[in-house]
Amino acid sequence: MPLYIFARLEPQPGKELQVRDELARVLAPTRAEPGCLRIHLYESTRAPLVYFIHSAWIDEPAFDAHAALPHTERFAGAVEGLLTHPLQALRTKQLM
């Protein structure tokens, strides 16, 4: 059963472009992972600016492997001090 991830990233004021650059940097290597079905980046249309990641994985072990890869760990470390809240990825399954 596929695993769907939703992540919300709210940049600190003045850090929006840094966060966007880090997001752009992590997307290509993530898309190349064998367990990644898709990953997309979204941006809020109203203030405050918030970014959202929505991704789909073949299963939970694939996402667990993703979380331990160097490009993912580098991303998490790079944005840690740029966000208003800690990065949290919500694991979900589709109901309907």
| Alpha-carbon span 83 to 15, nearest angstrom | 8
Please state the φ and ψ torsions of residue 93, each to the nearest 5 degrees.
-125, 150
41-79 burial: b if 16+ Cβ within 10 Å, else e: beeeeeeebbbebebbbeeeebbeebeeeebbeebeebb
pLDDT of 77-95, one tens digit each? Answer: 999 999 999 998 999 999 9
pLDDT attached to residue 67: 95
pLDDT of 44-59, one tens digit each? Answer: 998 789 999 999 999 9
Please state the φ and ψ torsions of residue 74, each to the nearest 5 degrees.
-65, -45
Find tokens 């941006």 and name the residue: 43
Query: pTM of the prediction?
Result: 0.92
CATH class, domain 3-53+70-84, is alpha beta
